[in-house]
Structure 1
């Protein structure tokens, strides 16, 4: 696994995510990795967040490098996934991997014995 790219998370997202993780009963692998990500993140106030960083409720465009497929999805809390087909839970392996990335960053993310290779190509 290569070195992890730097990530930036808003203080608002940090508080929402810690509250979510404390109550979550699902995929422990994703929860553990998301805790690790929050431990290494750089935190900024919401109004100081760069526009090119993935945060909750932002639309992320990314490439799954192994398949060559590009996706564009809105990163959200699990309770908001039902809001449309373009929703991606932050507690999914891809959602957790994208949190805090800036455009152009790539990440290798372990998931169920495999490694996801993702490249963030846009945020809106």
Structure 2
């Protein structure tokens, strides 16, 4: 987690709050992942979907992430848990890397704890962002 503020859309905030509320009645309720997501939401600057810069990672964005230790690139689409499918590159917002990339801009670097240890990542480019394409409610 970085000290730099992140940006999320009002629409994503509403859906993420619902996700967190719904998760309280599941086995996830005591999950560190939920706590981390809540912390990220709490520190976010919320903007209307039409005003989000096109270089910010929002929900349903397809992003090229660079691992700063291996220089390898990975492409993920950030999705809600019910749409996650790593074989298709769809990573859940509840996965450590999914939570980590939400709200960051192209060029931003961040560190995040994952089950295998700490990863240092950089948002290299955004291949698709719904809001930049006019899809404000995807």
TM-score of the pair, normalised by structure 2: 0.81
Matches within 5 A, 1:10-89: 10-24=9-23, 25-26=27-28, 28-82=31-85, 85-89=88-92
Instruction: Give the superposition deviation at 1:60.
Output: 0.8
Q: How many residues align?
A: 123
Structure 1, gaps ≥5 residues long = none
Question: Structure 1, residues 99-120: CA drift from partner, whole Å, max 9, x if none?
Answer: 0000000111123472221100
Using a 3 Å threshold, how does the CA distance of structure 1 residues 7 and 108 change in structure 2: closer, same or farther?
same
Question: Structure 1, residues 25-64: CA drift from partner, whole Å, max 9, x if none?
Answer: 3371111111111111000001111000000111111112
Instruction: Give the superposition deviation at 1:9.
Output: 0.3
Q: Structure 2: how far apart are the matches of 1:16 and 1:104?
A: 26
1:104 aligned counterpart, secondary structure: coil
1:12 aligned counterpart, secondary structure: helix
Q: Structure 2: how far apart are the matches of 1:82 and 1:33?
A: 21
TM-score of the pair, normalised by structure 1: 0.89
Which contiguous aligned blocks of 4+ residues in structure 1 show a shift greater than 3 angstroms?
A: none
- Whether 1:121 and 2:120 are equivalent positions in the alignment is no
1:43 aligned counterpart, secondary structure: strand
Q: Structure 1: how far apart are the matches of 2:113 and 2:84?
A: 22
Q: Structure 2: how far apart are the matches of 1:86 and 1:111?
A: 17
Q: Structure 2: how far apart are the matches of 1:32 and 1:17?
A: 12
Q: Structure 2: how far apart are the matches of 1:23 and 1:113?
A: 28
| Pairing partner for 2:94 from 91, 94, 107 | 91
Superposition CA RMSD, Å: 2.0
Larger Rg: 2
Structure 2, gaps ≥5 residues long = 129-138
